[in-house]
Structure 1
Amino acid sequence: MSRKQWDSLSTPLSQCVLDTIKTFGFRKMTPVQTATIPLLISMKDVSAEAVTGSGKTLAFLVPLIEILLRRQNQNPWRTNEIGALIISPTRELAFQISEVLSKFLIHKDLSFLKQQLIVGGNNIEEDIKNLMKNPPTVLVCTPGRLGDLIERKGELNLPGRVKTLEFLVLDEADRLLDLGFKTTINTILSYLPRQRRTGLFSATQTTEVTDLIRAGLRNPVLVSVKEKSNISTPVLLKNFYKIVEPKEKFNDLLTFLKKTEFTKAMIFFPTCACVEYWQEILPQFYKESKIFGIHGKMKNRRHKIVEKFRNADKAILLSTDVLARGLDIPEIDWVVQWDPPSNATSFVHRVGRTARQGMEGNSLVFLLPTEDAYINFLSINQKVELVPLDLESSGGFEENLAIIHKLQADDKEIYDKGVKAFVSHIRAYTKHECNAILRLKDLDLGKVATSYGLLQMPRMPELKNLNADNFIEPSFDVNVNQLTYKNKQKEESRQGKLKVYEETGEWPGKKKFKRKTEAWEQSKKNKEESKTKKKERKSKRQLKKETANANGTAIAKKRKAKISQEDIDEIANDLRLFKKLKKNKMTEEEFNEQMGIDD
């Protein structure tokens, strides 16, 4: 493209900024950049809502540099002054912003600007030393670590360094609030000068984001950029679904990977345990790509894994929602979801990892036959239209299941990971925001456990009253208590605990519970008596409450005489009839007849 679009802004950009933009290939300005850059440069606060992958990073970095450069020409920045803060919800997004910013700062005319990246998970004392040794003009950070530093007393004196702050960026503001940083953000805002420019960027406008706009922005210009009013995902993104049988979900995932051409793909799983388990299993079946796994519990390792994925020629990244936002890798062709995410907005953010920067992309979500209502729900709730994916299964279910059984039998660590993955998946399913249509009681847990290739059904409360009859056991005899670890240290530890168990009858490290020594019959009798008393107390409380509601007056005094169970049942029956009459479920004549009332 020509550079005319960047040159034609009402407030011209500096030559050094234009030169750096040229290194990005002079991509066409996106709608959010066209709308927000002139406003921010003209010193207005801006709240921008735009779909993921719309170019928000350049939309705030370009005006940030222009504002700091303007101040440098008038009154040069001193060593201990921080001119701009960029607050990002996750480490990965903070790293990404820092990398883009570094491309600008290598220009000789911007050598006066220094940046520091401060994120959680690192040693806070090391962060303080770095800030003291190399004072930044621009600080890119996550809210938790910034909150710790700004409230920490000492030689650093961060509140003093931000007194002349010119520009604040709150990136992915809705995600900042989703992660529970509302109090931290408000604390940070209390230390910042009011005479500053603020840019707030988010993919969705929630009530919490609106409250943050009121608290942190002064007379903001509200910008909402959508590619089409009837969709919430990028225009060039195709969203597919596939109905799969519970036990064959992994088999269908393998079929998809082997029959689909792609350079890079992301597969989202519901929990950290699921990512760890399938990262062990998937490479045994699919060797055409490098396979990486990432989740929230990895802390400092995440950035290195993202970089390996970014630099690989062909790769698959297994992830939780920790990377549902901000990750900008244009080569991602497909986003696959093992099951529907915990909330509908996460679906939009997940699929936004592809079809970025004007490129085409595809997404696929696996749905069970009991989950087909999710298609219509997503269309109404998020304006996302799903179309079926025409993909026939390549077979091999029994053979693949046998391989997983063998992997678990050969290494107890894989079996343990499989059990944790299944249990965590089921428990995450019970907390689903769409539990009205995605109900645990509709799942065939035996088939779901089969999809994980478990050697036996685990013990968990959720299995007590639900169907788990269709579980497919391994074709060979196996005792899970005798499985061994391939890891020598773990196996030595297991053997040591086993020896203690054989000697004492108690497994080391297991919580001890005091057991009652009374006879079973007496224990049963005590339980029945306790249950009866509890029922009587509940009936009395309910009786008082319902009688007060029915008559319009509260009972003034507690009854001194004990009420028999027969009296309680009679009163309860009278109240039941009264409620029926009140709700027009019976006529007055029927009520009088059953109550024994003469006209």
Structure 2
Amino acid sequence: MVVKDWAKISPGLSKPVLSCIEKQGFKTMTPIQAAVIPLIMSCKDVVAEAVTGSGKTLAFVVPMLEMLIKKQKESPLRKDFVYAVIISPTRELASQIYKVVELFLQEPELSHITMTLLLGGRPVEADIEAIQKGAQIAVCTPGRLGDLLAERKQLNLAGRLKEMDILVLDEADRLLDLGFSQTLTTILQYLPRQRRTGLFSATQTKELQDLVRAGLRNPVVVSVKEKSTISTPILLENYYVIVEPEDKFLFLLNFIRNRKIAKGLFFLPTCACVDYWADVLPVFLPDIKIFAIHGKMKMKRSKILEKFRQAENTILLCTDLLARGLDIPEVEWVLQWEPPTNPASLVHRVGRTARGGAAGCSLLPLLPTEDTYVPFIKTNQMVELKDWRKSKDEIKINPKLKEKVLAMLHEQQKQDRAVLDKGQRAFVSHMRAYTKHECNLLLQFKELPLGHIATSYGLLKLPIMPEIRQEHKDQFVGPKEDIDFNSIPYKDKQKEASRLQKLGEFKKTGVWPSKKKKKMIQSEPWEQAKLNKEERKQKRKKRKELKKNDPEGGKKRKRKAVTQEELNELAADIALMKKLKKRKITEEQFDQQFEV
């Protein structure tokens, strides 16, 4: 598709919108913008699919503002009505969209349009007050919007939406992945049917097609791909490298030092992994600012993300929470600890770089047992991974440096018990996440050398896990000297005082004191637990089918049928009691006939 000039689009854009686009430096339209904007402006429902970083945000923001300008000319916009709703899967992406729209509303001709940001994790009263002040454009997350519609009757948000013109579902496939399917169905029930709907996503799934059928009317499907053979931007170079499990941390550490990354993202498997490496990495990279974000941080995330945007020579440790929609043009490298649980997430992870026509790179370290992931991801997601060692200078692992780094990891845990605890939690959560890989035929947990991986984490000891076998213990390289783990203190004085008190009670009683008494349940391997869970699920399914096909056969207890003779006896007894009540017979006669 030929990229068009913004000023030549038909029907023409208004002056304030063009002025703001020009100020932001967007001289030409991207293919997705050239395809989608005219369709929405001509009152069509649109389903748009394009690679990450292709400019989808402006593709729905521009026509949305044009529709409001047109409506304003026909009749003044009411302050208490909501005319446009943008739903985003995460708070970070919603905040980012809000800032983009905010730039347009700074134009004098558009300054009368009111807008609000509705996010979960903060008091509902603040959002209610914001809507009451005026919210002609609402940028929100689905959970908060669903709550305001269904639970807050005094707000009457459904009444405020009766003249809504446009609904946008951004990163729609991610909305469904996060379990918002039922919430979206509820939201759609409150919205007027006479509206324009835009559904934007980087990938198409079966669940997404179900949502299209439920919420859009005769939509135009737009699929824009820069090349038929890849699903990532042209200027993005994706690499992989095969490393031994015990060398993974050292390899990535050397890689960051040698490349001198100005701004990068580092994706880790779990929240606990982010917490651990955020504590550990600054010691090894004193010249680089290390930030960390994961889903359990709640409202801290926006502040951390803003600091990362403004910083230079920095790396952000994160989970897949930031794999979608995050737009930071300066990101040069995307590093990953291992393949994501969902293969489609790889496309979104690497798409955080090479945005808006800029160049970028990504690197995925793989273990020797994971080499089949390279052809799989090329076939499954059309992402071609190049071998880093063939295209660049090979980074050799220095044994002395390896020993020094391991000693430094051990020392950090000896100095602060909190780091020791975080390391144990990070390793266990990482292994648990590995068992949940969708492509578990390629990434098999039973093939993992758990001892070598624990060595790469720099753990002082192996955690207690039913999966740890003797071979894993033989693989593990811990500290050279014996360690009294009870003597490792917390740096936090209050926490250390509490630990010492509990330790004293433990030495007296032999039982570690805790607030809640937990039942001792013998743990079982995760794979076995998964099999047992699936077996129970199949049994429940079988019982339901049996009950559906044979209602009587599915019941454990059957009622005994009442015979006609028993009914006649009961009727005779009732008649006798009535005679006694009306004094037609004496009590002696009643007792005689009733055989008392």
TM-score above 0.5, yes or no: yes
> How far does the alpha carbon of each residue in 1:278-311 deviate from its partner, in whole angstroms, 9 at most, with x for none?
0011110012211100001001011111100000
Tell me the equivalent position of 2:476: 471
Name the amino acid aligned to 2:140: C
| Other structure's SS at 1:234 match | coil
CA contact (8 A) 1:32 1:50 kept: yes
Name the amino acid aligned to 1:128: I
Tell me the equivalent position of 2:466: 461
Alignment of 1:52 with 2:57, yes or no, is no
CA contact (8 A) 1:335 1:351 kept: yes
Q: Can you give the 5+ residue segments of structure 1 that lack an aligned partner in the other structure?
A: 517-599
CA contact (8 A) 1:447 1:468 kept: no
Tell me the equivalent position of 1:499: 504
Q: How many Å apart are 1:387 and its aligned residue?
A: 1.0
CA contact (8 A) 1:455 1:480 kept: no
Between the aligned partners of 2:520 and 2:302, the Cα distance in structure 1 is 49
Q: How many Å apart are 1:514 and its aligned residue?
A: 7.4
Name the amino acid aligned to 2:462: M
Between the aligned partners of 2:518 and 2:316, the Cα distance in structure 1 is 43
Between the aligned partners of 1:142 and 1:297, the Cα distance in structure 2 is 16
Tell which deviates more after alignment, 78-87 or 22-31: 22-31
Tell me the equivalent position of 2:302: 303
Between the aligned partners of 1:515 and 1:79, the Cα distance in structure 2 is 60
| Other structure's SS at 1:288 match | coil
Q: How many Å apart are 1:218 and its aligned residue?
A: 0.9
CA contact (8 A) 1:255 1:393 kept: no
Alignment of 1:421 with 2:426, yes or no, is yes
| Other structure's SS at 2:467 match | helix
Tell me the equivalent position of 2:26: 26
Name the amino acid aligned to 1:353: R
Alignment of 1:110 with 2:110, yes or no, is yes
Alignment of 1:136-175 (within 5 A): 136-175=135-174
Tell me the equivalent position of 2:443: 438
Q: How many Å apart are 1:466 and its aligned residue?
A: 6.3
Q: How many Å apart are 1:399 and its aligned residue?
A: 0.3
Q: How many Å apart are 1:437 and its aligned residue?
A: 1.0
Name the amino acid aligned to 2:319: T
Name the amino acid aligned to 2:413: Q
> How far does the alpha carbon of each residue in 1:97-125 deviate from its partner, in whole angstroms, 9 at most, with x for none?
00000000011111221110011111112
Tell me the equivalent position of 2:65: 65
Tell me the equivalent position of 2:565: none
Alignment of 1:252-263 (within 5 A): 252-263=251-262
Name the amino acid aligned to 2:491: K
Tell me the equivalent position of 1:373: 372
Tell me the equivalent position of 2:574: none
Between the aligned partners of 2:26 and 2:175, the Cα distance in structure 1 is 31
TM-score normalized by the length of structure 1: 0.84
Alignment of 1:333 with 2:336, yes or no, is no
Q: How many Å apart are 1:504 and its aligned residue?
A: 2.9
> How far does the alpha carbon of each residue in 1:361-398 deviate from its partner, in whole angstroms, 9 at most, with x for none?
10000101111111111111111111111331352100
Between the aligned partners of 2:338 and 2:424, the Cα distance in structure 1 is 18
| Other structure's SS at 1:467 match | helix
Tell me the equivalent position of 1:211: 210
Residues 510, 456 of structure 1: CA spacing in aligned structure 2 closer, same or farther, 3 A cutoff? farther
Name the amino acid aligned to 2:447: D
| Other structure's SS at 1:22 match | helix
Tell me the equivalent position of 1:359: 358
Alignment of 1:288-299 (within 5 A): 288-299=287-298
Between the aligned partners of 1:373 and 1:316, the Cα distance in structure 2 is 29
Between the aligned partners of 1:271 and 1:187, the Cα distance in structure 2 is 31
Tell me the equivalent position of 2:396: 393
Alignment of 1:245 with 2:256, yes or no, is no
Name the amino acid aligned to 2:307: K
Tell me the equivalent position of 2:313: 314
Q: How many Å apart are 1:155 and its aligned residue?
A: 2.8
Q: How many Å apart are 1:152 and its aligned residue?
A: 2.0
Return structure 1 stretches of 4+ with deviation > 6 angstroms.
513-516
CA contact (8 A) 1:444 1:468 kept: no
CA contact (8 A) 1:450 1:471 kept: yes
Q: How many Å apart are 1:27 and its aligned residue?
A: 3.5
CA contact (8 A) 1:441 1:466 kept: no
Name the amino acid aligned to 2:335: V
Q: How many Å apart are 1:512 and its aligned residue?
A: 4.5
Between the aligned partners of 2:418 and 2:182, the Cα distance in structure 1 is 40
Name the amino acid aligned to 1:214: R
Name the amino acid aligned to 2:477: I
CA contact (8 A) 2:31 2:224 kept: yes
Tell me the equivalent position of 1:349: 348
Between the aligned partners of 2:504 and 2:413, the Cα distance in structure 1 is 23
> How far does the alpha carbon of each residue in 1:428-449 deviate from its partner, in whole angstroms, 9 at most, with x for none?
1111111101111111111000
Tell me the equivalent position of 1:195: 194
Name the amino acid aligned to 2:261: F
Name the amino acid aligned to 1:18: L
> How far does the alpha carbon of each residue in 1:44-63 deviate from its partner, in whole angstroms, 9 at most, with x for none?
11110111111000000000
Q: How many Å apart are 1:476 and its aligned residue?
A: 2.0
Alignment of 1:496-535 (within 5 A): 496-509=501-514, 512=517
> How far does the alpha carbon of each residue in 1:308-357 deviate from its partner, in whole angstroms, 9 at most, with x for none?
00000221000000000110000000000101111110111000000100
Between the aligned partners of 2:503 and 2:304, the Cα distance in structure 1 is 37
> How far does the alpha carbon of each residue in 1:202-231 deviate from its partner, in whole angstroms, 9 at most, with x for none?
111111111111111111111001111110
Name the amino acid aligned to 1:170: L
Count how many residue pairs are aligned between Structure 1 and Structure 2: 515
| Other structure's SS at 2:460 match | coil
Between the aligned partners of 1:411 and 1:393, the Cα distance in structure 2 is 31
| Other structure's SS at 2:474 match | coil
Between the aligned partners of 2:147 and 2:249, the Cα distance in structure 1 is 43
Between the aligned partners of 2:515 and 2:270, the Cα distance in structure 1 is 25
Tell me the equivalent position of 1:548: none
- Identity over aligned pairs, percent: 57
| Other structure's SS at 2:290 match | strand
Q: How many Å apart are 1:24 and its aligned residue?
A: 1.2
Tell me the equivalent position of 1:549: none
TM-score normalized by the length of structure 2: 0.84
> How far does the alpha carbon of each residue in 1:414-438 deviate from its partner, in whole angstroms, 9 at most, with x for none?
0000000000001111111111011
Between the aligned partners of 1:118 and 1:60, the Cα distance in structure 2 is 19
Tell me the equivalent position of 2:536: none
Name the amino acid aligned to 2:47: S
Between the aligned partners of 1:285 and 1:496, the Cα distance in structure 2 is 34
Alignment of 1:273 with 2:278, yes or no, is no
CA contact (8 A) 2:247 2:397 kept: no
Between the aligned partners of 2:405 and 2:373, the Cα distance in structure 1 is 29
CA contact (8 A) 1:50 1:226 kept: yes
> How far does the alpha carbon of each residue in 1:557-577 deviate from its partner, in whole angstroms, 9 at most, with x for none?
xxxxxxxxxxxxxxxxxxxxx
Tell me the equivalent position of 1:575: none
Q: How many Å apart are 1:511 and its aligned residue?
A: 5.8
Between the aligned partners of 1:374 and 1:446, the Cα distance in structure 2 is 22
Tell me the equivalent position of 2:95: 95
Tell me the equivalent position of 1:586: none
Between the aligned partners of 1:394 and 1:310, the Cα distance in structure 2 is 33
Name the amino acid aligned to 2:506: Y
Between the aligned partners of 2:124 and 2:318, the Cα distance in structure 1 is 27
Tell which deviates more after alignment, 469-478 or 163-172: 469-478
Alignment of 1:282 with 2:287, yes or no, is no
Q: How many Å apart are 1:508 and its aligned residue?
A: 1.6
Tell which deviates more after alignment, 92-101 or 148-157: 148-157
Between the aligned partners of 2:135 and 2:276, the Cα distance in structure 1 is 41
Q: How many Å apart are 1:135 and its aligned residue?
A: 1.4
Q: How many Å apart are 1:502 and its aligned residue?
A: 2.6
Name the amino acid aligned to 2:194: Q
Q: Can you give the 5+ residue segments of structure 2 that lack an aligned partner in the other structure?
A: 522-596
Between the aligned partners of 1:503 and 1:183, the Cα distance in structure 2 is 53
